[in-house]
Amino acid sequence: MPHSTPLITHTLGFPRIGDRRALKWALEAYWRGDDTADRLHATGHAIRQQILDDHVAAGITRPPVGDFSFYDHVADTALLFGQTPRRFGPMANTLDNLFALGRGRTAKGRNTAPLAMKKWLNSNYHYLVPELETDQPIMLDAARYLDLVREARAASSKAKPVLLGPLSFLWFSRGLDESARLARAEALADAYRTLLAKLAELGVTWVQIDEPILTLDLPLAWLQAFEPTYHRLRVPRIKLLLTTYFGDLNGNVALAAQLPVDGLHIDATATADLIAVADRLPDYKVLSVGILDGRSIWRADLAALLDRLRPLHTRLGDRLWLAPSCSLLHLPLDAESESELPDFLRRNLSFARQKLQELRLLARGLTEGWNAIALELNQTAAARATLDAQPGRIDPQLRAETATIPQHSPARPAPFSARSAAQQARFRLPLLPTTTIGSFPQTPEIRQARKAFKNREINAAEYEAQMKSEIAEVIRAQEAIGLDVLVHGEAERNDMVEYFGEQLDGFAFTREGWVQSYGSRCVKPPIIWGDVRRSRPMTVDWARYAQSLTDRPVKGMLTGPVTILFWSFVRDDLSREAVCNQIAEALRGEIADLAAAGIGMIQVDEPAFREGLPLRRKDWPSYLTWAVRAFRHAVSIAPSDVQIHTHMCYSEFNDIIESIAALDADVITIETTRSNMQLLDAFADFDYPNAIGPGIYDIHAPQIPTEAEIEARVRLALARVPVERLWINPDCGLKTRSWAEVTPALEAMVAVAQRLRADL
C-alpha cells in the first residue's frame, strides 16, 4: 500500500543569478557606481523572493535560505566568522567587504590583491579561497546572514538555513597548513554553535550544513575531527541535516551515519547501494536522498528512480526526504525560457525550476502510487523516444571512425627538441618572448556588432568587415605595444566553447541557460545532444586574415576537446570519453586546415583540463588517460614546425604534472600570479621539458600592474624555469578588461621583458 503522509522534499541550493541574469547587471551597475546599494539590495531581495515562490508553487517542503550570495558563499562564510586576510585590515561582514575579497581593493594608490579563486570541487563554479592567518580570533558577525533567514522565514516558515560546514570551510581554505587549519575546528565550531543558537531564537528547526569533503579522500586526522566537531555543534531545538554531494561516501558511510546530527543527505546519483546507507543509519535519523542529478540538464527517468526509491520508502517511511543530489546552483534557471529550441530537445530538458517539479512528482509517485503520475511518466518516455530517433543523434560513419581512437597513442612527428629547433628556425623569437592568451577587450561595439548580426540587423558581409577592422586594430595595437607573438583578439567569439559548438554538428544553444561561474560572471554552456562533427573550417579565414596583416607570428586559437566537453552540458547516453573523442577528431581537422593555411602557431586552450578530474584518486588514471589522448589526437596532426600552445587557468599542477607533460604542447601558458608564482614549482620539480609562459599579472582584477610587480614575478619564474624556455604573458585572456587597463599593463610587461633580455 502506498504510504499516505506526504514526503518532505527540499533543495540544497538554487541558482542565485536570477531571471535574465538580473543579479549580474545589478552587481556590475553597482560596481561601476551607476547604481546605489539600495538598488542592488532590492534586486537581491526580488531574486530570493522568486526562489521561495518557485519552491512553494512547486510544492517543495523546505526551500533553502542562506545559499544566496552577492558574490560567493565561501567568501561569505569567511566574513561570517571573521576569517579574512590581514592585508585587508579589519573586515566587518559587509557587502563591500565581500566585493573587496572577490575583486581586490585600491585605496590611497595601494592595491590589495583579492582572494584566489578555485574550482568548487569538480564543478565549473569558482569559489574564493579563504586565507587564514595565524593567531586570528574567530569573530562571528552574523547580522547579514540572520537578515536573510528572517526575510525568508517571513515568507515561508519552512525555509531551511544553509551553512557551509566548518570542516569543509577549513579544508577549502589556505594560508595555514593542514594541521593548523584543523586545529581551528574547535573554536570555529563554537562560533557555529553561537550562530545556531541565534537561528533557534528565530524559530528555526532544521539547518542544512554542507560537508562535501566527506566525498573526498580525506586524511585520517580530518575524518577523526568530524565526531568531536559535530558534538560541539549541538544546540537545543536545532536539527542538523549534514549534506554530502558530488560523489558517494564510500569508506566514510559509517562515519557520516553515526555523527551526532539529525539527518544525512547523500548523492544518490553516485551511490550504488542506497539500502546499505539506510542500514547504517540510526533509526531516529532522516535520510535525504539526492535522487535527481542536480547537475544534469536532462529530464530524469522518473520511473526508474521510483523503482530505486520504493524499497527505501518502505524501510524509512517519512524519515525519507527527497532532494536533488546537490545545489541547483550549477544549472540554468528555467528550460521554459527556451522557446527557440526545437521541441524534440526542449521537452527533454530539466533546469532548476523543472527539477522542482520532477522532485514533487517523485514524492507523489511514492506516496500516491504510480497511477497518480502516469501521465507525466508517459510524456517523459515519449519525449525521450523522439530525441533518440532524431537524425544526428547517432552518425554511424562517425562512430566507426572514432571507435579506434582509444587503441592509438597519437604523437607529434618529432620530439620536443627537434620541433623546437624547427620552430626557432621558422620564427626566430627573442629570449623571453612576449604574448597574450588570446582575447582582447570585448568592447561594446564588438558586442553590438555580434548582436546585430545575430538579429539579422546587419548582413554577413557587413559583419565580416567590422570584425576584420577589429582584428586589424588589435594587430596594430599589439605591434605598437611591442609584443612578439600576436593573436587576432577573438572579437568574433562570444564564448570560447559556444563559438565552436555553433559550427559543429550535434550542439544546441539556449538563450538564457546561464550558470554562475564566479561573482557576476556567468557561462552559457551549449548542449551536446547529437554526434559531434565538423563540416567546414571554423577559424581558418579569421586566422589567415590576421596573419596577412603582420610579419610577426599570429597564433591560431582553438578551444581543446576536454574543455569543450566539460564546458558543455553533455548527452547522458554516451560516455564522456566517446564524446571527447568526437570533438578531438573535429579539432584535428581544423588544426590540419590551419597548418595548411600557413598558420605557424596554434593554441589549443584547455582551461578545464583539471576540472575534469574525478574527486577520488582511484578514478584519476582512467580520466587522465583519455583526456591526454584526446588532446594528442587533435594536435598530433600538426607538422614539427607548427608550434602548439596550450593554456590553462586556476589549476594546481603538482599532482597531474605527468599528464600535463604528456600533452606535449610546445608552450603552455598558465595562471600563476595569485599563487605568487608558486604553481611553477610543480613544473620545476618535475623538470618539465617544454616551454612555459607563467602569467605575470592577474587579469581578473581591475588594478594595473606596475613594472616592479611584473619584474618581481618574472624573476621568481626565472628561478624556476630555464630562460630559453620561459615566455612572458598575462594570466589569462583579456576580454573582460578595457583597453585603458590592457594597454598600460601590456606595455609594462613588454618593457620588463626587454629590459631583462638586455641584462641576459
Nearer of residues 524 and 571 to ligand GLN, judged by Cβ: 524
Q: Which residue is nearest to ligand GLN (CB)?
A: 733
Interface residue with Zn ion among 732, 734, 742, 745 (CB under 5 A) is 732
Q: Per DSSP, which regions of 590-670 are E strands? A: 601-605, 643-648, 667-670
Integer angstrom CA distances of residue 220 from 180, 402, 502, 599, 617 = 15, 43, 47, 52, 16
- Residues 627 to 656 in contact with Zn ion, rule: CB under 5 A: 649
Nearer of residues 74 and 732 to ligand GLN, judged by Cβ: 732
- Residues 619 to 648 in contact with ligand GLN, rule: CB under 6 A: 647
- Residues 452 to 491 in contact with Zn ion, rule: CB under 5 A: none
With CB cut-offs between 5 and 8 Å by kind, which of ligand GLN, Zn ion, none does residue 557 bind? ligand GLN
SS3 of residue 554 by DSSP: strand
Q: Are 100 and 45 in contact (CB under 8 A)?
A: no
3-state secondary structure 200-253: HHCCCCEEEEECHHHHCCCCHHHHHHHHHHHHHCCCCCCEEEEECCCCCCHHHH
Nearer of residues 324 and 733 to ligand GLN, judged by Cβ: 733
Stretch binding ligand GLN (CB under 6 A), from 331-339, 655-663, 684-692, 732-740:
732-740
Sheet containing 601-605: order of strands: 555-559, 601-605, 643-648, 667-670, 691-694
3-state DSSP helix/strand/coil percent for the chain, to nearest 5?
50, 15, 35
Asked if residue 565 binds ligand GLN (CB under 6 A), the reply is: no
CB of 438 to Zn ion, least distance (A): 9
Nearer of residues 225 and 613 to Zn ion, judged by Cβ: 613
Q: Are 45 and 52 in contact (CB under 8 A)?
A: no
Asked if residue 496 binds ligand GLN (CB under 6 A), the reply is: yes
Asked if residue 670 binds Zn ion (CB under 5 A), the reply is: no
Gap between the Cα atoms of 409 and 664, Å rounded: 13
Nearer of residues 440 and 626 to ligand GLN, judged by Cβ: 440
- H or E stretch covering 288: strand 286-292
Binding mask 434-453 for ligand GLN (x = CB under 6 A): ---xxx--------------
CB of 223 to ligand GLN, least distance (A): 35
Nearer of residues 211 and 741 to Zn ion, judged by Cβ: 741
Asked if residue 557 binds ligand GLN (CB under 6 A), the reply is: yes
**Closest C-alpha to 615, from 303, 348, 176, 217:** 217
CB of 101 to ligand GLN, least distance (A): 22
- Residues 9 to 68 in contact with ligand GLN, rule: CB under 6 A: none
CB of 652 to ligand GLN, least distance (A): 16
Interface residue with ligand GLN among 103, 450, 633, 735 (CB under 6 A) is 735
CB crowding 324-362: b at 16 or more within 10 Å, else e: bbbbbbbbbbbbebbeebeebbbbbbbbbbbbbbbbbbb
CB of 622 to ligand GLN, least distance (A): 25
Nearer of residues 644 and 649 to Zn ion, judged by Cβ: 649
Asked if residue 586 binds Zn ion (CB under 5 A), the reply is: no
Interface residue with ligand GLN among 495, 531, 605, 731 (CB under 6 A) is 605
With CB cut-offs between 5 and 8 Å by kind, which of Zn ion, ligand GLN, none does residue 214 bind? none
Q: Are 97 and 144 in contact (CB under 8 A)?
A: no
Gap between the Cα atoms of 2 and 313, Å rounded: 9
- Residues 595 to 624 in contact with Zn ion, rule: CB under 5 A: 607
283: exposed, middle or buried (Cβ count in 10 Å: 0-12, 13-18, 19+) = exposed
Task: State the number of binding residues for ligand GLN (CB under 6 A).
Answer: 13
Catalytic residue among 330, 488, 633, 700: 700
- CA angle 242/519/510 to nearest 5° reads 90
Q: What sign for the dihedral angle of Cα 341, 345, 347, 349?
A: negative
HSE-up (13 A, CA, CB side) for residue 327: 28
Nearer of residues 106 and 494 to ligand GLN, judged by Cβ: 494
Task: State the number of binding residues for Zn ion (CB under 5 A).
Answer: 3
Asked if residue 577 binds ligand GLN (CB under 6 A), the reply is: no
Q: Per DSSP, which regions of 94-232 are E strands? A: 105-107, 110-112, 117-119, 126-128, 160-164, 206-210
CB of 553 to ligand GLN, least distance (A): 16
Nearer of residues 84 and 669 to Zn ion, judged by Cβ: 669
CB of 717 to Zn ion, least distance (A): 17
Asked if residue 733 binds ligand GLN (CB under 6 A), the reply is: yes
Q: Is 633 a catalytic residue?
A: no
316: which DSSP letter? H
Strand duo 527-534 + 504-508: pairing: antiparallel
CB of 331 to ligand GLN, least distance (A): 21
Nearer of residues 117 and 345 to ligand GLN, judged by Cβ: 117
CB of 722 to ligand GLN, least distance (A): 25
Which residues, including other chains, have CB under 8 Å from residue 62's CB and lie 6 or more apart? Answer: 8, 9, 10, 158, 159, 160, 206
User: Helices (H) and strands (E) in the chain — how many of each?
Assistant: 28, 22
- H or E stretch covering 429: none
CB of 648 to ligand GLN, least distance (A): 7
With CB cut-offs between 5 and 8 Å by kind, which of ligand GLN, Zn ion, none does residue 605 bind? ligand GLN
Gap between the Cα atoms of 191 and 99, Å rounded: 23
Active site residues: 700
Using CB under 6 A, list all residues that contact ligand GLN.
437-439, 490, 496, 557, 605, 607, 647, 649, 732-733, 735
Using CB under 5 A, list all residues that contact Zn ion.
607, 649, 732
